[in-house]
Amino acid sequence: MKLKSSVSRRGFLGGAATAGAGLCLGLTKASAAAEKPAAATAKRAAKSATEWPVWETNDEKGLLDVLHSGKWGRGNGSRVKEFENAYAALTGAKFCLATSSGTGALLTALGALDIGPGDEVILPPYTFVATFNAITHHYALPVFVDTDPATFQIDPKKVPAAITAATKLILPVHIGGSPCDVDAIVEAARPRKLPVLEDACQAWSAQVRGANVGTRGLAGCFSFQASKNLTAGEGGALITNDEKFLDRCVAFHSPSGGKGIVTSGRGGNYRLTEFQAAVLLAQLARFEQQQKLREANANYLTSLLEKIPGIAPARFGNGGTRSAWHLYMFHYDKRQFANLPRAKFLEALAKEGIAASHGYTPLNTSAHVKALAENPHYQRIYGQQAMARWVDRNQCPVNDRLCEEAAWFPQTKLLGSRRDMERIAEVIASVQKRAGELAKA
């Protein structure tokens, strides 16, 4: 997957989806030559170490076992349950509910909380658009709280001022898999007894004060979409220690799984399939080893990049003890690079085979977000003038600056060797040396 400096997050995901499609074709071929699965595996192993996703005969066998069993849905199969138990064990949560996607997990949690029209939900602007969509899907009003540039995460100091009488939920994100200061947010939520839902869709097994993210607030939501560190193409999960909340989530996520629990006349179908669970169980078997490799490489890369003036890796939020390393996020200060614009910096890296993304563009002022003010349902619920004022209020100046100077490497880069990390640092240092020329070119 090649990332050009000009590609947006959408393009980035498109690239990931294309890579996934290519591997599906590989799988079809491997299945057709079922007598020789070892040959197909060997052929794959010969490819790049950072190719994504990784799969082997285990994944293939899991899928075929489900196919042959005829038990394809969670109602009659056992693999979804097995995965939920394994994921709860991995995260140290009491309960896990698997869902059809990370978005499905968020929609389920907001549905179980009965978030709806008139309710405000606090979120950061430095996130994937799905966080925002989960709120607007329930016709609630998203309220942006600016970013702490050192961590790239929601600034917990700015949360109290955003809480109003209409606030019903705080939805912080552990962006990049790096832990945000969720404990400070839980503290800010306490006086009003507001629930805190962690969007941990990039943060499988990230930790705050030694405990997994998703267990600090009411619940945490995770994604297993194709680009994510743990994937079945699509899929998601919600973890919680609150059994009553779990029961409401189970009821909301399935038209027929509710133990008679009433969820305000609303619900959906956000169930994971047995096929996805089979793949996730196979992926889970290699997940911790991959995470250890990402972590070791990320720490080594940080030690190298910290020596380069103008490159500042993102720090963990207060209390953060482990990142999931979905994104390796850093600041690029062009003043230390002879004012070489970020786009040209990224171009120069790409030329050396070190593809990096410029990261998120400001979500809070995007066309997608602004369109909400023109949405007739929102105008009816909140009023046309209130929606116009909402657009004016969605200012996050710190985040705007961060979006201009941020860059990321995707998680797959961290699956390379130590030598690969050294090469990243060497290429950046050489670009810095040539920055004057490159700026003129």
Ligand X SMILES: *Cc1c(COP(=O)(O)O)cnc(C)c1O
Q: Give the closest residue to 218 by CA, choosing from 157, 172, 270.
A: 172
Q: Which stretch binds ligand X (CB under 6 A): 30-38, 56-64, 127-135, 412-420?
A: 127-135
Residue nearest to ligand X (CB): 102
Q: Which is nearer to ligand X, 131 or 291 (CB)?
A: 131
Regarding 363 and contact with ligand X (CB under 6 A), the answer is no
Regarding 205 and contact with ligand X (CB under 6 A), the answer is no
Type of residue at 225? Q
Strands 327-332 and 406-410: antiparallel
How many DSSP H helices and E strands does the chain contain?
Answer: 16, 15
Q: Which is nearer to ligand X, 276 or 432 (CB)?
A: 276
Regarding 416 and contact with ligand X (CB under 6 A), the answer is no
Q: Which of 5, 91, 127, 207 binds ligand X (CB under 6 A)?
A: 127
Regarding 225 and contact with ligand X (CB under 6 A), the answer is yes
The CA distance from 375 to 140, in Å, is 13
Strands 153-154 and 147-148: antiparallel
Residue 151 in tokens = 């961590």
Q: Which of 3, 109, 173, 219 binds ligand X (CB under 6 A)?
A: 173
Cβ burial 306-323 (10 Å sphere, 16+ → b, else e): eebebbbbbbbbbbbebb
Sequence-distant (≥ 6) Cβ neighbours of residue 262 within 8 angstroms: 251
Min. distance of Cβ 269 from ligand X in angstroms?
15
Q: Which of 147, 151, 153, 202 binds ligand X (CB under 6 A)?
A: 202
The CA distance from 278 to 292, in Å, is 23
Cβ atoms < 10 Å from Cβ of 382: 20
Q: Which of 128, 270, 325, 360 binds ligand X (CB under 6 A)?
A: 128
Number of residues that bind ligand X (CB under 6 A): 14
Min. distance of Cβ 196 from ligand X in angstroms?
15
Regarding 316 and contact with ligand X (CB under 6 A), the answer is no
Beta bridge partners of 406: 331
Regarding 131 and contact with ligand X (CB under 6 A), the answer is yes
Q: Which of 15, 236, 359, 416 binds ligand X (CB under 6 A)?
A: 236
Q: Which stretch binds ligand X (CB under 6 A): 37-45, 125-133, 255-263, 306-314?
A: 125-133
Min. distance of Cβ 47 from ligand X in angstroms?
25
Q: Which is nearer to ligand X, 40 or 113 (CB)?
A: 113
Measure Cα distances from 227 to 60, 107, 224, 276 in Å: 19, 20, 8, 15
The CA distance from 179 to 317, in Å, is 6
Using only the alpha carbons of the chain, give its radius of gyration: 22
The CA distance from 408 to 275, in Å, is 32
Site string for ligand X, 94-123 (x = CB under 6 A): -------xxx--------------------
Q: Which stretch binds ligand X (CB under 6 A): 124-132, 177-185, 208-216, 411-419?
A: 124-132
Alpha helical stretches, state H, 240-309: 243-253, 274-305
Regarding 323 and contact with ligand X (CB under 6 A), the answer is no
Cis status, amide bond into 53, omega within 30 of 0: yes
Regarding 199 and contact with ligand X (CB under 6 A), the answer is yes
Cβ atoms < 10 Å from Cβ of 353: 10
Regarding 125 and contact with ligand X (CB under 6 A), the answer is no
Q: Which is nearer to ligand X, 152 or 337 (CB)?
A: 152
Regarding 135 and contact with ligand X (CB under 6 A), the answer is no
Q: Which of 5, 108, 136, 223 binds ligand X (CB under 6 A)?
A: 223
* Contact assessment for residue 371 and residue 21, using Cβ atoms and an 8 Å cutoff: no
Min. distance of Cβ 128 from ligand X in angstroms?
4
Q: Which positions touch ligand X (CB under 6 A)? A: 101-103, 127-128, 130-131, 173, 199, 201-202, 223, 225, 236
